[in-house]
Amino acid sequence: MVDEALARSFRGAGEDYHRYRPGFPAAAAQAMLSRPVEAVLDLGAGTGKLTVQLVQRARRVIAVDPSEQMLAVLRAHLPNVDARVGTAERIPVGDTEVDAVTVAQAFHWFEREPACAEIRRVLRPGGTLGLVWNRTDPECSWDLACHRIAHPQATASGGEEGEEQVEQLPGFVFAERATFRWSETVSRADYVRRWQTVSTFLAADPAERARMTSAVEQVLATDAATRGREQLVLPQLTDVFVYRRAETDRVVPARTPGGVSLVGSDVGATAEEIMADVRADRS
Ligand SMILES: C[S@@+](CC[C@H](N)C(=O)[O-])C[C@H]1O[C@@H](n2cnc3c(N)ncnc32)[C@H](O)[C@@H]1O
């Protein structure tokens, strides 16, 4: 069940979201679009953090998001992208109009069944659905501690209780998964501001937001890797899941259940562990 208040929290986030949130490695876009296509739809595109990687890979790029404010930022830096207000449950795109649909950091906000039916409708037969999430590297103690502040419901293993498995999607066949390890250098101040663009911070009242911000600052002040440092080297893991549009609109068991390719470096996690982390990273 999607938390509507958290899902709506991004609506006013535009500029700050774009400034402070990380992007995605080019290899992640390559994994979702391994060869150039005619048309791609970036669904839940936000300010265009993934969309920017799609413009060299498709002749036509459509971006859909419910937030006019997020799309205004996207339009400013990607004027050639066809940006449309809409939702995953009601996509403003014609039947079989696109070769691929990508969803970055947003699939967990969608109502699963109607969204899958809509994505299937806009995809041409054989088209692909690529899902991507950045997530915390569990070996990075300070980022993991901050993640726990933002997502206190996450269990010790990184999962979130009561959530459903998402490996199988109605109308799609799971094709493959890839994980990319990368890192970025971020200033201490920007790292704190980044957390303030996460849904739980955005939806919190001012007192709670101040408490969470102070808790993040406390982590940075005490962890040996961040104490006294103005520039932080932040490791990131990016997971990509690729599905193919099935002939049927029902759930189709994957032909290659172990269809996992770890790229970059072996992070030593099973598909279930990675999906648990993905579900916990409701950011
Ligand atoms: C964490 S942001 C990700 C934005 C962008 N894809 C990125 O990676 O930076 C989640 C996005 O999902 C959008 N969103 C929330 N509910 C949605 C829905 N039902 N359909 C489509 N987009 C939705 C929000 O407006 C927001 O832009």
Q: Look at residue 192 and tell me if it is in a domain.
A: no
Burial 205-217 (b: 16+ CB within 10 A, else e): eeeebeebbeebe
CA angle 183, 61, 70 (to 5 degrees): 65
Per-residue pLDDT of the chain (283 residues; tens, 9 = 90+): 666 666 666 666 668 888 888 999 999 999 999 999 999 999 999 999 999 999 999 999 999 999 999 999 999 999 999 999 999 999 999 999 999 999 999 999 999 999 999 999 999 999 999 999 999 999 999 999 999 999 887 644 444 333 334 479 999 999 999 999 999 999 999 999 999 988 898 889 999 999 999 999 999 999 999 999 999 999 999 999 999 999 877 766 655 433 333 433 323 333 344 444 444 444 4
| The pLDDT of residue 76 | 95
Residue 115, domain extent: 4-137+152-181+236-280
Which of 65, 70, 87, 239 most suits a substitution to test ligand 1, by most atoms within 8 Å of the C-beta? 65
Q: Look at residue 220 and tell me if it is in a domain.
A: no
CATH of the domain at 28: 3.40.50.150
Decide whether any atom of ligand 1 lies within 6 Å of the 21 Cβ: yes
CA angle 98, 199, 227 (to 5 degrees): 120
| The pLDDT of residue 253 | 64
Question: Residue 124 burial (CB < 10 Å; 0-12/13-18/19+)?
Answer: middle
| The pLDDT of residue 167 | 72
Q: Look at residue 14 and tell me if it is in a domain.
A: yes
How does strand 260-262 pair with strand 231-245? Answer: unpaired
Q: Look at residue 63 and tell me if it is in a domain.
A: yes
Q: Whose CA is nearest to atom 27 of ligand 1?
A: 46
| The pLDDT of residue 9 | 66
CA angle 18, 79, 89 (to 5 degrees): 70
Q: Look at residue 203 and tell me if it is in a domain.
A: no
For the chain, the first-to-last Cα distance in angstroms comes to 16
How many domains is the chain partitioned into structurally?
Answer: 1
Q: Look at residue 52 and tell me if it is in a domain.
A: yes
Q: From ligand 1's centre to the CA of 208, what distance in Å?
A: 23
